[in-house]
Chains A and B, each alone.
Chain A
């Protein structure tokens, strides 16, 4: 007789593990199934070159909800997040724009390019922070259903309305504008200097199949500003040991609560009996049974690949088909023999530890998007480049370095056809060449380079089309629309079926909020006491 679990979670990504941990904490008997031989999903640390650790998918940490980290005792389970600071965008004329943690130094650097922009920066920060304050209230909450008259939904809607009303008339209209503006237009209202706008706009497009002048990208910026490190909102940090440390800590917490993880367990099908999800069938023929099945896979993969067509309402299949999950990013992970130099920077500049970019105008960024629309990788891409080994000694041997390069844009398939090894190499070369323009010794330091296109992300991690957020962050797929209208409360179309991945509210990034929110709804349905902490109050 096969063991009957209380719950099975498909996928040991950070959200699956977080979900499982909260279910186990409530006393459920939970099994997590992972297709890969290792856990983590896109939150992994891998030694693909001996001696070097690659955070080969997600690479920095800010969004992870502090309530969850504390509640699941992730520090005790090995997670340490070390903040890093600063950024730099190199310009084509040999100069650069630096972003410093010290406010005055930052203002002086801005004023070097434009005194007016330096002064406008404060207005920009305040206006973005206002939006951040608003959205952060809703991260650890289940979105209400605006079409329902149930008391719980009406209460949720009233809370939403109250949060908006609190902003005052102008503040509320500014919020609506912010949510519908492009990051380019938004920045144009503050800054006059192209390199400053270009530097600031990156957060509006990372992971998104939109350009800097596409409406809605100001909201995407928010998605990168609403995190924190130790209460410093908008700050980012490195997980010591790479992003796998996040998943490992979640897994350790889950195991400590009595959970069970099975790796190399490739779920082929969710078993439906009498209209109810009752278990899963693996590729090797094994079956596992449980009262409920939680999918950490993206909605497209969940509904289109894990079900027999007849088991689901046609509407859900259509919605899943139409779900927008577009690969738009690539990644290079590079083992370096030493620290590359950037002659534009002054000697001993702290900016060598910073986020580096090489796109110095909004037009260049927008053209990079045009390439993606045309079905090719950007010939002049936007890069978010970091050298985590300058902060984290565990990433590379002493004196050696590990570089992570996030690349926007890179399509899931090429206009000319599917990705080939040659195309992938050419894509990697485009990126390396861009960096080498600003760092003459860079190429000679490369010991190993892993090039990842959306295809690798899909093949290895299972993210459809290689979209890092498990679905675009556009308004048809946000809040009560995520992933689909009517299914935004983590419950699937069948009894016993739930979603807990980034494809649900509040979306992607290593946040763990979707997993926690889903656990809260599951425990509610099971009439079990809630184990998920409420969000910190919005003061």
Chain B
């Protein structure tokens, strides 16, 4: 059975899919969003992982684009922050700590403090240029039209506006590693570790990997837009997903849950609609996929309907996750060594040095889990006590490195790695092991299954320079439009990548509208 036609169908109600649907609906399109799960948000999801304990997949909001938030009126539609502008505190496990807040760093000597202020100033300027670029469809570089020339001229102007010194510095560091940049500027190992971790979180990279500076700039994308530290969403990140959904619906989009798209239907090489797992279908001339690149093309469109060279590019897209998510239900509030009690609710980074991160990364290269993993920890219950029974707490940690393609397989290793993580936490927060009431480890294959995320990669694919900016995800599909006429990418696989910014969804919608109008 095929239901009445829509102007546009969005596959997946992740935040980007919903953003995309919201913008399309605002422009007057009749939009249908189809979601396989029974709730919106994708990784912006919250669930009860143990009785009375609720936890979110993505746990901190870093780079939600202010324009997206404003256009969709997310606050009007229910987005509330339990805490905003969180402090970031790096701990070395031996009592040392460094806190970063408001562009300043505490716990370091005067020279590092001055150097960090300068670093922050430059980061703000660089990310301002980057954020501008990320909010647009990347221009074509060789086969340019006047619009592309204009966009390139604008980028050139933005770069030149940095002034000679800053422009030179940006061109110098853009394609190198965070390890050298941090070592050149700072002495304090913990400060360097905090910066290094920001650069590689979510990536198959260590601080020494060239290109990791780009990871840092991406994580700090909002610095140039006046954004502060990360936020904790009231009710868990799922509430953000709900807010996106409500906003999209308010704009006129229709969302259907429990609708797993199994095929994108084509007619004479262009999009005609989609087919669901139950055999039902919808027709539309415009389909925007929030699913990741490989799912979209290898599973939904199918290689047979694509040129073989493009299939090769899709196949070679690097999208193997190395990041796991750890959730602990705790009997009480753990005490981290060296952490001021006022900072217990901060964003905690657990690694003493960049070399420690690099050592942890070494194992990922050979398909092994880090024996001494690094973590980004948040205890959301300190800001939002409703997430756990009274007096109890939830610890949510992003853990690296845990490669998707683990040697020996995850079934045999999940429990052991969970224990490794708890043991590592124990060295930072002695006694925490005894407080654990329940636990959950979502390794990349689990994320893959739970969130329909092929490869289990948080960002749908590595955000490394070879698949970023002009090249994301792959040549041929790098400007939201794809080789299949009428099919667009609107998820984190597309420029500018993941991180709950909403930009991929927004840019895709605007690009699709522009191109449809041009026809």
A pairs with B: yes
Q: Which of B141, B209, B358 is close to A169, meaning CB atoms less than 8 Å apart?
A: B141
Question: Known: A146-B167, A173-B475, A215-B464. Is A180-B211 also a contact (CB below 8 A)?
Answer: yes
Nearest CB of chain B from residue A30's CB, rounded to whole Å? 32
Beyond A170-B476, A363-B366, is A480–B171 a contact (Cβ under 8 Å)?
A: yes
CB-defined A-B contacts under 8 Å, sample of 8: A171-B142, A179-B175, A215-B209, A216-B211, A474-B175, A475-B174, A476-B172, A481-B171
Q: Which residue of B lies closest to A486 (CB)?
A: B168
Quick one: CB contact mask for B449-484 with A, threshold 8 Å, 1 for yes? 000000000000000111100110001101000000
CB distance from A391 to the nearest CB of B (A): 36
Binds B, one of A18-26, A160-168, A273-281: A160-168
B141 touches A475 (CB 8 A): no
Tell whether, in the assembled complex, residue B171 and residue A180 are in contact, meaning their CB atoms are under 8 Å apart: no
Interface residues of B in 76-116 (CB under 8 A from A): none
Contact B142–A172 (Cβ < 8 Å): yes
Residues of B within 8 A of A166 (CB): 142
Q: Which of A444-488 contact B (CB under 8 A)?
A: 474-476, 480-481, 485-486
Cβ contact within 8 Å between A214 and B464: no
* Cβ contacts B128-163/A at 8 Å (1 or 0 each): 000000000000111110000000000000001000
CB proximity of A124 to chain B, nearest CB, Å: 13
Contact call B466/A164, Cβ cutoff below 8 A? no
- Report whether A167 and B208 are in contact in the complex, using a CB–CB cutoff of 8 Å: no
> Which residue of the partner chain B has the closest CB to A362?
B365
How many angstroms between the C-alpha atoms of A170 and B479 in the bound complex? 13
- Answer yes or no: B338 CB below 8 A from chain A CBs: no
How far is the CB of A360 from the nearest CB of chain B, in Å? 15
Q: For the complex, what is the distance from the CA of A174 to the CA of B309, rounded to whole Å?
A: 13
Question: Nearest chain B CB to A73's CB is how many angstroms away?
Answer: 39
Q: A168-B142, A176-B471, A366-B365 are in contact. Are A216 and B210 (CB under 8 A)?
A: yes
A262-301 interface code vs B (CB 8 A; 1 in, 0 out): 0000000000000000000000000000000000000000
Name the B residues within 8 Å of A146 (CB-CB). 167, 171
Please name all residues of chain A whose beta carbon is closer than 8 Å to the beta carbon of B172 when the two chains form the complex: 475-476, 481, 485
Residues of chain A within 8 A (CB-CB) of B362 are 370, 373
A185 contacts B318, CB within 8 Å? yes
Question: Nearest-CB distance from A180 to chain B (Å)?
Answer: 4
Secondary structure type dominating chain A contacts: helix
Query: Chain A: which residue is nearest B144 at the CB level?
Result: A165
**4 other A-B residue contacts (CB within 8 Å) besides A173-B470, A185-B466, A475-B172:** A164-B141, A173-B475, A181-B466, A214-B209
Interface string of A329-364 (1 = CB under 8 A from B): 000000000000000000000000000000000010
Whether B141 and A172, one on each chain, are in contact in the complex, defined by CB atoms closer than 8 angstroms, is: yes
Say whether B519 faces chain A, with CB atoms less than 8 Å apart.
Answer: no
Contacts of B143 in A (CB 8 A): 168-169
What is the minimal beta-carbon distance from B65 to any residue of chain A, in angstroms? 25
User: Is B169 positioned at the interface, with any CB of A under 8 Å from its CB?
Assistant: yes
Q: Is A538 close to B, CB under 8 A?
A: no
The verdict on B184 contacting chain A, using a C-beta distance below 8 Å, is yes
* B475–A476 CB distance below 8 A: no
A84 interface residue (CB < 8 Å to B): no
Contact mask A473-507 → B, CB, 8 Å, 1/0? 01110001100011000000000000000000000
For the complex, is B176 an interface residue (Cβ under 8 Å from A)?
A: yes
B180 interface residue, CB < 8 Å from A? Answer: yes
Q: Does A232 contact B (CB under 8 A)?
A: no
Interface check A416, CB cutoff 8 A: no
Pick from A215, A363, A481: contact of B210, CB below 8 A.
A215
Categorize the interface residue count of chain A: 35 or more
Contact bitstring A47-76, B, C-beta under 8 A = 1, else 0: 000000000000000000000000000000
- B514 on the A face (CB < 8 A): no
B73 within 8 A of A: no
Closest-by-CB residue of B relative to A217 is B210
Docked complex: B175-212 residues within 8 A CB-CB of A: 175-177, 180, 184, 205, 208-211
Of the listed residues B164, B316, B365, B478, the one surrounded by the most CB atoms of chain A closer than 10 A to its CB is B365
Check: A189 CB closer than 8 A to any chain B CB: yes
Known: A167-B142, A168-B143, A210-B210. A147 touches B466 (CB 8 A): no
B276 an interface residue at 8 Å Cβ cutoff? no
- Which B residues are in CB contact (< 8 Å) with A171? 142
B510 interface residue, CB < 8 Å from A? no
Which residues of the partner chain A approach B167 to less than 8 Å between Cβ atoms? Answer: 146-147
Chain B residue at minimal CB-CB distance from A324? B180
CB distance from B175 to the nearest CB of A (A): 4
Interchain CA distance A56-B179 in the complex, whole Å: 33
Q: Is there an interface contact between B180 and A476, defined as CB atoms closer than 8 Å? A: yes
- A214 and B141 within 8 A (CB): no
Q: Which chain A positions have C-beta within 8 A of B184?
A: 322
Distance in angstroms between the alpha carbons of A189 and B315 in the assembled complex: 9
Cβ contacts under 8 Å, B117 to chain A: none
Q: CA A22 – CA B466 in complex, angstroms?
A: 40
**Nearest CB of B to A402, in Å:** 36
Q: Which of A147, A188, A215, A367 contacts B168 (CB 8 A)?
A: A147
Judge whether B173 is part of the interface by a CB distance below 8 angstroms.
Answer: yes
Q: Which residues of A contact B175 (CB under 8 A)?
A: 179-180, 216, 474-476
Docked complex Cα distance between A474 and B467 (Å):
18
Q: Find out whether the CB atom of B168 lies under 8 angstroms from the CB atom of A373.
A: no
Complex CA–CA separation, A202 to B316 (angstroms)? 22
Q: B465 contacts A180, CB within 8 Å?
A: yes
Nearest 8 pairs of A and B residues by beta carbon: A485-B168, A475-B175, A180-B465, A173-B475, A216-B210, A180-B466, A322-B184, A215-B211
Which residues does chain B contribute within 8 Å of A214, judged by CB atoms?
Answer: 208-210
Query: Which residues of chain B come closer than 8 Å to A164, judged between CB atoms?
Result: 141-142
**Inter-chain contact A180/B169, CB cutoff 8 Å:** no
CB-CB < 8 A to B174: which residues of A? 475
Known: A180-B464, A215-B211, A216-B210. A169 touches B475 (CB 8 A): yes
A176–B470 CB distance below 8 A? yes
